[in-house]
A and B are shown apart, each in its own frame.
Chain A
Amino acid sequence: MSVHLSDILMEFPGTRALDEVNVAFHFNEVHGLVGENGAGKSTFVNILGGSLQPTRGRITVAGTDVTLSSPRSALGHGIAHVSQEGSLVPSLTGAENIMLGVEPRHTAGIMRRGALRSEAERLLATWFPGLDLDLHRPVGDLPMADRKVIEIVRALRGDIRLLILDEPTATLEAREKKQLWGIIKRLPTKGVGVVLISHFLSEVVELSDRITVLRDGKHVGTLDRAAASEAVLTDLMLRREAGQPEAETAAPSTPADPATAPVILAVEDWAVGSVEMDAFHLRRGEIVGLIGLTGAGHFGFARSLYARQGVVRGELSVDGQPIRGSGVRVMQRAGVALVPDHRMENALAGDGTVVENLTMVHPEFAAKSGILNRSLERREADRVIKLLNVKTPNQRQLIRNLSGGNKQKVSIGKWLYGAEARYKVLIFIEPAEGVDIGAKMEIYAHMRRLAAEGAAILIASSDLGEIAQVCHRAIPFVHGRPGADIHARDFSEGQFITAITGDAA
């Protein structure tokens, strides 16, 4: 008995996210699904869970053709999806969360609280007998592992044959992980197949009966557990397409002598959230990458250098000048800029024009006593547009009408408009998020150029290929702790994955 997806093709405007993927998921196995970011894993499980409809392809459940038109229709065919983020209501108890939407009620619609509790307890005992878990406290007070179990029990409350688990252990401590592994392994023995997505290759190898590898939307292969090892999987995930230009993957030229270039940004004894960083130095002309798994803290650390929210302690200096006070204006004056992730939320006004967005940081460049000189403004905006090769019909085009890559260029351009060489440190978070390959290469070229002109660049990214392409060195984060630097000459994605999953197993 299985769910069979054959010849699945998924096209988004401009890209082919999945190309002829064929996989059968059996109801008596844990089936691992691995691939780099952007390889098509999410698209694939979203199709399986009914959230997306493929452009072409055939899906059969137990031999019958089906259409999974919505998550609800997938549930009707016995397929449930437990997403990475968590979907529990923190203020409700475990029992209430498990029974959410199917609460037992009297004819008048009044909830039968006793029945609700006993039904939830029965479900838990059926699936995971002997598990000690308090179903009567608000789930917001429970450890992360217990919350995950409650989500799984809720997903299983119907007649479910296949359960999709998306990064189930990403937020868990090592001990909690082991506990959840036991639970996951038990499901196939009860006739429920598991589709497991995880960044932790060791976990996938440990738990899966079979493993499917995706790369660039293509089905690279499906391996039996016996044939799969972390090394083999890494190799399959990362193998480059023949014909990909060498320049794209080549490491950048290192600065004249990075070890002796002056330090521009220095951080000592920095603590923010779960991150603790004893010392961090960024030198002139250097491009440094921060890498890590979801929740490793590298994004939070990078952000905290600009907007010091949640910084518990730490000393920061720019160009040898200690920075007192917090707030983005202080950092800006010191010459630190941020190109954030989720650019439409954090960097750009979608209903604003290109020129309005470009001038968001330094409108005063083209003004005298607060009054704008429009021709000067137009010229300077034009300089930035040409410099970054922003493709827009004119400066008055609305930002929301531009493509992802051009939006990102405007987000970078904000720091170049009227501010040539003013910013000594540029912090990028996920710089190529939603950016097509051509624009990506241009953005990397701009980073190299800015670094060559004397800026220091810090990139926090989940795209390891990107780090390998532009950085001089990379710092892997594991559970909020930075590991040893990896220098460009030692860059390999296998090395990265080993470093960021360090103590995963």
Chain B
Amino acid sequence: MTSQTAQISASTPASAPKPVRSDFVQRYSTLGVLILMFLGFSLFVDRFLTPFNLSNILQQIAILTIVGSGLTFGFAAKEIDLSVGYTVGLAGILVPLLLTMGYPLALALLAGLLAGIIVGLINGVLITKVGIPSLIATLAMGSILFGVNFLMTGGRAIYGGLPGTYLALGQGRLFGIPNLAFFMVCAVAIAWFVMERTVFGRYVYAVGGNQKAAELSGVRITFYRMAALVLVSVFAVIAGALLASRLGSGQPNVGERYLLDGLATVFIGMTMFRPGTATVLGTFCGALFIGVINNGLNLIGMDTYIQNIVKGIIILTAVAIVSRTTKLNLL
């Protein structure tokens, strides 16, 4: 038996497609690690598997998942948005600022949404019309937004005077489950539906899969690249508005960490289901991955600095795995 297998594999040319089994391993190994991690923490960490802690994890990853779902649109079109953290910050300041100025909630939220669309359009124009690679255009855009965020508040946090209806969005619970979890599920469901079940999603994946081929197939590539970038920003401002609600204040620098964490969810997601391709479900699992590991390490009493190191290692590992299957041509 053993010698037979050896013989077969020896005679298989190097370029032949990989056997089905390794394909399965490739698709689901990250998910397996996530499940093992979950079981491990459940068995060995006392306070991990409790309803309170689990709903806590959901609350902790909800905003990150929304940012990551947005970034997935960008990655599907092979556009990376490095300004996403500051876009989260932008809405996280603009919405509470308008509320403290006495504007009604609906109007404040609408303004936040509009700001997201504008940021996305500017990114889109810079990338598709001016022709600046997305990595560079959005890096510069991030710097601009960073400045804008501090200008709006004069560098101070906005708190006090926020209406209860707004605070309830991010802090309330329904049937004991945090509202944020519902928002997260909605965001994931919508993003998944758009990417997997609509013509729009097909075109976005086509543009990201091979821009030249999509163009020669008659796909309006500029439109779909722009649309993907606008969606990244729109999901980011939704996340930002919810973040300020959860914190009960608008702070100019809280969005930043959502850039790296958001990218991490997408990269981890790209190692599973369809290796090399950003998928919404993959990103969701990526967010769970980060949520479970952070929470577990927290409960063990691990320093937050150590958590950063662990996160960095996870991102590198994920990208290393992805790079083995596809070229990450993001510049």
Given A349-B206, A349-B210, A359-B202, the answer on whether A372 and B197 have CB atoms closer than 8 Å is yes
Q: How many residues of A contact B (CB 8 A)?
A: 30
Q: Is A360 an interface residue (CB 8 A)?
A: yes
Quick check: is B50 within 8 A (CB to CB) of the other chain?
A: no
Note all chain A residues with C-beta closer than 8 A to B215: 328
Flag the segment in A189-197, A235-243, A340-348, A456-464 that touches B.
Answer: A340-348
Annotate A34-76 by CB proximity to B: 1 below 8 A, 0 otherwise: 0000000000000000000000000000000000000000000
**For residue A350, which residues in chain B have a CB less than 8 angstroms away from its CB?**
209-210
Chain A residues, CB < 8 A from B297 = none
In the complex with contacts A307-B216, A346-B216, A356-B200 CB distance below 8 A: no
Could you tell me if A352 and B217 are in contact, using CB atoms closer than 8 angstroms?
Answer: no
Docked-complex contact B198 and A361, CB < 8 angstroms = no
Task: State in angstroms the CA–CA spacing of A329 and B206 once bound together.
Answer: 16
Give chain B residues whose Cβ lies under 8 Å from the Cβ of A363. 199, 202-203
Residues in B175-210 with C-beta less than 8 Å from chain A: 197-200, 202-203, 205-206, 208-210
How many A-B pairs with Cβ below 8 Å? 77
- CB of B327 to closest CB in A, whole Å: 9
Selected contact of A351 from candidates B15, B197, B199, B209, CB within 8 Å: B209
B216 & A340 in contact (Cβ 8 Å cutoff): yes
Report whether B219 and A360 are in contact in the complex, using a CB–CB cutoff of 8 Å.
yes
**Is residue B154 contacting chain A, with contact meaning CB distance below 8 A?**
no
* A434–chain B nearest beta-carbon distance, Å: 13
CA–CA, A381 and B218, complex, Å: 19
User: B131 at interface (Cβ–Cβ under 8 A)?
Assistant: no
Closest B residue by C-beta to A352: B209
Given contacts A349-B206, A351-B277, A352-B205, contact A372 B199 (CB under 8 A): yes
Residues of B within 8 A of A121 (CB): none
- Residue B301 CB within 8 A of the other chain: no
Report B157 CB to chain A, min CB distance, Å: 42
Asked if A370 and B199 sit within 8 Å, CB to CB, the answer is yes
Kindly identify, within residues 356 to 389 of chain A, every residue whose CB is under 8 Å from any CB belonging to chain B. Answer: 356, 359-361, 363-364, 367, 370-372, 374
Q: B220 at interface (Cβ–Cβ under 8 A)? A: yes
| B202→A345 contact, CB < 8 A | no
Q: Contact check: which of B208, B210, B216 meets A338 at CB < 8 Å?
A: B216
Cα–Cα, bound, A483→B214 (Å): 34
Q: Which residues of B contact A364 (CB under 8 A)?
A: 199
Q: Which of B197, B199, B214 contacts A374 (CB 8 A)?
A: B197
A332 at the binding interface (Cβ < 8 Å): yes
CA–CA, A424 to B212, complex, Å? Answer: 23
Q: From residue A162, how far is it (CB to closest CB) to chain B in Å?
A: 31
Partner of B218, one of A328, A351, A356: A328
A13 within 8 A of B: yes
Contact with B along A229-264 (1 / 0, CB 8 A): 000000000000000000000000000000000000
The verdict on A329 contacting B209 (CB below 8 Å), with A351-B276, A370-B198, A371-B198 known, is no
* Complex contact A347–B15 (CB within 8 A): no
Residue contact B199 to A360, C-beta cutoff 8 Å: no
Measured CA separation A359–B209 after assembly (Å)? 13
- Measured between beta carbons, the chain A residues less than 8 angstroms from B208 are 349
Q: With an 8 A cutoff between CB atoms, is A401 at the interface?
A: yes
Encoded as 1 (CB less than 8 Å from any B CB) or 0, chain A from 142 to 177 comes to 000000000000000000000000000000000000
Write out the residue numbers on chain B whose beta carbons fall within 8 Å of the beta carbon of A332: 218
CB distance from A224 to the nearest CB of B (A): 40
Provide the residues of chain B in CB contact with A306, threshold 8 Å: 216
Most buried by A among B197, B212, B216: B216
| Complex Cα–Cα for A363 and B15 (A) | 32
Q: Inside 8 A of A351's CB, which chain B residues have their CB? A: 209, 274, 276-277, 326
* Cβ B15 vs Cβ A360 within 8 A: no
The answer to whether the Cβ of A117 comes within 8 Å of any Cβ in the partner chain is: no
Checking B17, B202, B220 against A356 with a beta-carbon cut-off of 8 angstroms, the contacting residue is: B202
Question: A210 on the interface (CB 8 Å rule)?
Answer: no
Whether a CB of chain B sits under 8 angstroms from the CB of A414 is yes
Residues in B whose Cβ lies below 8 Å from that of A348:
210, 213
- Measured between beta carbons, the chain A residues less than 8 angstroms from B214 are 349, 360
Contact in complex: B17, A367 (CB < 8 Å): no
B202, A328: Cβ atoms under 8 Å?
no
B160 interface contact, C-beta 8 A: no
Interface check B331, CB cutoff 8 A: no
A9 to chain B, nearest CB (A): 16
Q: Are A346 and B205 in contact (CB under 8 A)?
A: no
**A361→B213 contact, CB < 8 A:** no
CB distance from B204 to the nearest CB of A (A): 11
A374 to B208, CA, bound (A): 21
Residues on B with C-beta less than 8 A from A344 are 210
Please give the distance in Å from A399's CB to the nearest CB on chain B.
9
Can you list 9 pairs linking A and B with CB atoms under 8 Å apart?
A349-B213, A351-B209, A351-B277, A352-B210, A360-B202, A363-B202, A364-B199, A367-B199, A401-B17
Shortest beta-carbon contacts, A-B, top 8: A349-B209, A349-B210, A363-B202, A401-B17, A352-B209, A332-B218, A13-B13, A363-B199
17 additional contacts (CB under 8 A) given A347-B210, A349-B206: A306-B216, A328-B215, A332-B218, A340-B216, A345-B210, A349-B205, A349-B209, A349-B210, A351-B209, A352-B206, A352-B210, A361-B217, A363-B199, A371-B197, A372-B197, A372-B202, A414-B217
